[in-house]
Amino acid sequence: NIKCDLLVVGGGAGGCAMAAKFASKLGKNKVVIVEPKDVHYYQPMFTLIGGGMKTLADSARSMASVLPSKAQWVKDEVAQFSPKLNSVTTKNGDTIEYNFMLVAVGLQLNYDKVKGLEDALAKDPRVCSNFSPQYVDKTFKALQNFQGGPAIFTFPNTPVKCAGAPQKVMYITEEFLRKVGKRDVSDIKYCTSLGVIFGVKKYAAALLELCKKRGIEVNLRQNLIKVKHETSEAVFEYLDKPGETITLKYSLLHATPPMSAPDVLSKCSDLTDKAGYLDVNKTNLQHVKFPNVFGIGDCTNVPTSKTAAAVAGQCGVIKKHLAAVMAGKPLPSAEYDGYTSCPLVTGYSSCILAEFDYDGQPLETFPFNQGKERWSTFFMKKAIMPDLYWHGMLNGYWEGPKIFRKILHFGMGK
């Protein structure tokens, strides 16, 4: 059995960053981090890999090289949470007791919830998905092999990580097809379960305009439920007309899988809300029932768009609040405002950089209109963000661009 001061569950963006922060603060082996995987992927790069702009290897580092050396890495998976006992049990049967715990287990990809999708991903080279390292390499091959016809891009009926990613791949595809002279024989469709193209008005307007300009059909409230690759068909349910479906032929299908909190978390009702996400206070990320438990990132129920940028913003707040709770001091006043950001890559050299808060109000870092397609924000996404992630964020130093936003706006605004 292992005992520790702080247990961090999950070594992804949030877990790795916070383990680094607290391991350096508390000293060697006070922090235990449980993470089963050998490889840590920089998932935001998957969009660029799908467009042939980066390789899967560019997005990968060994887990051993990114986890903080001052923390003890338990290469195992939490199989059960027991928050009333302040312990977890792992798949290999170990029990880990903690004084404080940070839950950072991310989202689970449920490809199996769409009938025939896993089969199609395994057998049909025209079916791809940027969301998993297992499939992301198929996307660019599918683009290169595409000879025209319907190209369909889907958004499922669940929360997803990076809500813009299901359409970024479509804009990249559209530009790719223009470049190779196949755009006029292709028919591009975006089929989304949502009732809007994007949750924030300012950016939704810009994206709808862009779809109009580039001849992309947008179908709202359609949810992919089945893929029949033998007949090249994708079946969607109309979410506003229960029982009714529509079957579309495809020559290319990019599927965004339904997602949920990992089963191990959702099954622990003491920790979760009704939807299965970790139930935390949205201003300080502390668990609503267990004050010695905090959560970060995609697995929590904070009502903001799930991104690494949001995780960065949460890091700064958790750092202060968890440290105060650990020291038995009153909670500081710093609050998480729901900051999140989505670099909506619109092709091979352009990007709309959405940044916003809990109220869906834009919170833009730069003193120019980020709702316009720009090369500068594309360059930031492609060339600057990866290093900021590997060297800044994963070492616990990047807490989001708030400080730059303040400076660039001369201290005015939020």
Considering the complex, what minimum distance in angstroms separates the CB of residue 412 from ligand FAD? Answer: 25
**Residue among 211, 268, 299, 342 flagged as catalytic:** 342
The residue (of 146 and 339) whose beta carbon lies closer to ligand FAD is 339
Residue 401 engages ligand UQ1 in binding (rule: CB under 6 A): yes
With CB under 5 to 8 Å by kind, the binding choice for 167 among ligand UQ1, ligand FAD, none is none
Please pick, from the candidates 8, 103, 227, 385, the single residue that binds ligand UQ1 as defined by CB under 6 A. 385
365 contact choice in ligand FAD, ligand UQ1, none (CB below 5 to 8 Å, kind-dependent): ligand UQ1
44 contributes a contact to ligand UQ1 by CB under 6 A = yes
Per annotation, catalytic residue among 16, 162, 211, 351: 162
Residue 298: Cβ-neighbour burial (10 angstroms; 0-12, 13-18, 19+): buried
Work out which of 47, 192, 305, 365 binds ligand UQ1, going by CB under 6 A. Answer: 365
The answer for residues whose C-beta is within 8 angstroms of residue 104's C-beta and 6 or more apart is 8, 9, 10, 11, 12, 14, 15, 18, 295, 296, 297, 299
> Would you call 315 a catalytic residue per the annotation?
no
Active site residue 16: no
What are the start-end ranges of the H helices in 231-347?
Answer: 263-266, 308-326
The CA-atom distances, in angstroms, between 27 and each of 68, 99, 144, 307 are 11, 15, 51, 29
Site for ligand UQ1 in 253-312 (CB under 6 A): 308-309, 312
CB nearer to ligand UQ1: pick between 151 and 285: 285
CB of 267 to ligand FAD, least distance (A): 11
Query: Do 335 and 317 meet the contact criterion of CB atoms below 8 Å apart?
Result: yes
Sequence-ordered list of residues with C-beta below 8 angstroms from that of 115, at least 6 positions apart, any chain: 225, 226, 227
Residue type at position 411: G
How far apart (Å, rounded) are the C-alpha atoms in residues 234 and 188? 14
Which residues 301-330 are close enough to bind ligand UQ1 by CB under 6 A? 308-309, 312
Q: What residues make contact with ligand UQ1 under the rule CB under 6 A?
A: 44, 308-309, 312, 341, 343, 365, 385, 388-389, 393, 398, 400-401
Residue numbers annotated as active site? 162, 342
